[in-house]
A = this chain, B = another copy of it.
Amino acid sequence: MAETTAASGRTPDSTRRSERSRRAIFDAALALVGEVGFARTTVEGIAARAGVGKQTIYRWWPSKAAVLLDAYLDLAAGAAEDGEAALPDTGDLAADLRTVLRATVDELNDPRYEAPTRALTAEGVVDPVLGARFVERLLEPQLELYARRLRAAQDAGDVRPDVDPRVALELFVGPLTHRWLLRTRPLTHAYADELVGYALHGIAARP
């Protein structure tokens, strides 16, 4: 196969074929983990569904967890192309947070993301090594975008200077994730808006 020459020097054709295989492997991996869960997803199953040899997968990834994580990062990167490299900064912190949390609600409710996100998150809950890689490669970079927006709001005088942005962001992300993962109540735009109001202004009565 053309891919065997990948390490040495690629022709345009072999690069195209490699990219096509990579795409097929990612699609197969995400579909499979969404359907049967992490435990029952195998490299053999991914290869069969993608129409490639098992060795093609092992040439690029050491394990099923590695393929799945890359497939998921690729999916998340695709979602981020809609302009999420930074959180919006219109100068109105509450409005910007509502925009971001509403978009997150839509993404979590999108079937394309829901099944693989649940499968990988659940596996990370019980497997500390996979969990740590998921957090390091996917979650913390996302959380850093919130921290950066909150720091800008501090500079603008909209967030109290004594607040730690890395902790404060969990007031937004934590409840949303909790509601989604445990399915306690519907995850809606109205909820996202309510959450922003509560987290920014607190629930205590003011003197």
Contacts and interface: CB of A to CB of B under 8 A. Distances in A.
A200 B199 contact: no
A122 to B, nearest CB: 4
Interface string A22-45: 000000000000000101100000
Given A160-B205, A164-B194, A195-B167, A174 B183 contact: no
A105 to B, nearest CB: 14
A203 B125 contact: no
A126 B122 contact: yes
Interface in A141-192: 143, 150, 157-160, 163-164, 166-168, 170-171, 173-179, 181-185, 191
Contacts of A134: 182
28 contacts: A118-B125, A119-B126, A122-B122, A122-B125, A124-B182, A125-B181, A125-B182, A132-B183, A135-B183, A140-B184, A159-B205, A160-B203, A166-B185, A167-B198, A170-B179, A170-B195, A171-B195, A171-B198, A171-B199, A171-B203, A173-B178, A174-B179, A177-B182, A198-B199, A198-B202, A199-B202, A200-B204, A202-B202
Interface residues of A, number: 56
A88 interface: no
Taken together, the copies of this chain in the complex come to: 2
A93 interface: yes
Contacts of A40: 39
A178 B170 CA distance: 8
B126 A203 contact: no
A96 interface: no
A128 interface: yes
A143 B191 contact: no
Contacts of A171: 171, 175, 195, 198-199, 203
